[in-house]
Amino acid sequence: MAAKKKTEEKINLDSILFKCRDILRKARNSGSFFEKRDMMLTLVFLRFIGEKYEDGVENLRNQLIDRGLDPDDEAIRAAFFDDPTFNDGTYNLPPEARWSTIINTPAPQLNTALDTALDILDKDKRLKGCFVKGTFLTRNLGAADIKQLVDEVSKITHKAFGEEKDLIGRVYEYFLKEFAVNATKEEGEFYTPHDVVQLIAAMIEPFDGTLYDPCCGSGGMFIQSADFVERKKGDTSGVNVWGQEKDAATWRLAKMNLALRGISHNLGETYESTFTKDLHKGIYFNYIMANPPFNLKGWYDSNLKNDARWADYGTPPESNANYAWILHILSHLKPLDGVAGFLLANGALGDSDTEKIRRKLIQNDKVEAIIILPRELFITTDISVTLWILNQNKKGGRYHERQLRNRQHEILFMDLRTWTENPVKDQNKKKVMLSTEQIEQAAEIYHDWQAEGTDGTNYAVPELYRSVSMPEIEEKGWSLIPSKYIEFIDHDLEIDFEAEMRRIQKEMADILAMEQQSQQMLKEAFRGIGYEIDQI
């Protein structure tokens, strides 16, 4: 009897995470959504930090071989491997905290081994506060369940999924999405896709100085911005990252994520709401990048009524935090040259209850560009959102080796909603992404508009972008909706109706002739068998 062919299953990140979710759902004592998420993300962190250590050791072995030394020699091992030093942010893990130790631990001892690893790592000041003490022993999953979970997580490696720029963030996104039914997450909390972060970074170019995110989530904005800086400038040491996050588990995740990447950061001493307790009050930043929760409700506290952040603009509506985020971001921008790029729901472009604040932002020349993005960019929502760019200096001058013109009393509007031709693979729903070429094109439109020598009064391409002056914006009631300003062509007017009617008449005549020919052939066929039909 012939042996059955074995089909090798393609490793897929979502399928691995689905299995992990399924294990946790069925396991006894697996806890709430947040406890499941804590366990999963902590396991993934241990997996990644262990993988990085293993890669560091392998690189060290190769360096020794290149220098003509034998890495297996007892003396060499003692000198270089007993207490190795890495210069790329890799952690020197003791045996108890290494993934190779964890994966080979007998199932009944796994919960203890995992918490032991966390206790050891927590002694490192860079990782202090990243973990919940007793994460695994408190839940005490059954031996078979925790073993299955560890085995599945062991499949998640940067070697297998190297195309993921922020792999730990993708894992976070998956559990945010898949457990959403059982969670009490605030409205509009979405992990920011890599291509959207790249667009923001390409626009404002956070190459040096301080970078701040007031709602930093899992730290993905920082991770992906660092990737952009490395590709464009090759050095991330000049960027100093600051952030804040109100959710305890997400704050810990961000600390893990940044520590894993070796990115210098200050996320505050603990997790706090940016509105009720600004951990970086009085500090101004060169760049701000953010994806605040869309249309956030329940943000307001009576103590915020006379807050200094909106003293010059008026208190934002209690029903929606969109303009509270705008004013908070503005309050932290360096007064002379700070630049911010952030996402908001499209409703913020023309809400009637925020018109006074919006008018003053425009009159004070804080708004530089409004870019409306395609739908379906986010995996966890299908809404279209807007990228806002605020700039404290629209007067011109040198900026990142570019000479900028005076852009006072002008705003650039862009509408990218038709850029939907790039589908995202391996997604159940229709999702799209911005290609590298599209990101570069959008950034070029913005940077050319800023450049010395550009005529802002005639800077426009129908259905794509247009530079608009303040008097026209005032005429439109201080609305920032791009479609009010960008020319949209009525393509029906381009049709030659007389020619089109002649074409339709010809097609109808051809169809009628074919029908008549078919009827004649049918009559002749019936005659051949002795029947006469006058009408069909």
Same domain as 155, residue 280: no
Residues of the domain holding 50 = 13-182
Q: Would you say residue 214 has pLDDT above 90?
A: yes
Q: What is the CATH number of the domain that holds 259?
A: 3.40.50.150
pLDDT for 306 beyond 70: yes
Q: Does 2 reside within a domain?
A: no
DSSP three-state, residue 299 = coil
pLDDT attached to residue 507: 74
Span 137-165, pLDDT tens digits: 998 899 999 999 999 999 988 777 765 55
The model's pLDDT over 112-132, given as tens digits with 9 standing for 90+, comes to 999 999 999 988 887 888 888
| Residue environment code for 274-308, b if the CB has 16+ CB neighbours within 10 A, otherwise e | bbeebbbeeebbbbbbbbbbbbbeebbeeebeebe
Same domain flag for 424 and 500: no
Q: Is residue 535 a part of any domain in this protein?
A: no
Query: By CB neighbour count within 10 A (0-12 exposed, 13-18 middle, 19+ buried), where does 268 fall?
Result: middle
pLDDT score at 488: 81
Give me the number of domains the chain comprises.
3
Under DSSP, the state recorded for 399 is: E
Helix (H, G, I), strand (E, B) or coil at 343: strand
Q: Do 269 and 202 reside in the same domain of the chain?
A: yes
Residues 375 and 480 in one domain: yes
Residue 3 lies in a domain: no
Alpha helices in 184-294 (DSSP H): 194-204, 220-232, 248-261
Average pLDDT over residues 246-257: 84
Tokens of 449: 């508009």
What was the pLDDT predicted at 493?
47
| Same domain? 112 vs 223 | no
Mean pLDDT of 283-296: 93
Task: For residue 262, give the DSSP letter.
Answer: T
Which amino acid, residue 186? E
> Please, which residues bridge with residue 372 across strands?
386, 415
Does 532 reside within a domain?
no
Q: Which pLDDT tens digit goes with each residue over 11-51?
A: 688 888 889 988 988 888 888 877 887 788 889 889 988 88
Which amino acid does the sequence have at 150? V
pLDDT(173) > 80: no
| 285/168 same-domain check | no
Please indicate, yes or no, whether the overall pTM of this predicted structure exceeds 0.85.
no
Per DSSP, what are the bridge partners of residue 403? 398
Residues 263 and 383 in one domain: yes
Residue 19 counted as domain residue: yes
| 312 and 281 co-located in one domain | yes
The better pLDDT of the pair 503, 453 is held by 453
Percent of the chain with pLDDT over 90: 45
Between CA 214 and CA 136 the distance in angstroms is 31
Q: Are residues 25 and 169 in the same domain?
A: yes
Higher pLDDT among residues 501 and 341, named by residue: 341
- Asked which of 157-161, 325-329, 395-399 is least confident by mean pLDDT, the reply is 157-161
**What CA–CA distance (Å, rounded) separates 252 from 191?**
16
Among 120, 132, 91, residue whose Cα is nearest residue 251:
132
pLDDT band at 2 (very low <50, low <70, confident <90, very high): very low
- What is the DSSP secondary structure assignment for residue 193, as one 8-state letter? P
| Same domain flag for 310 and 177 | no
Band (pLDDT 50/70/90 cuts) for residue 67 is: confident
Cα distances (angstroms) measured from residue 62 to each of 58, 84, 471? 6, 14, 65
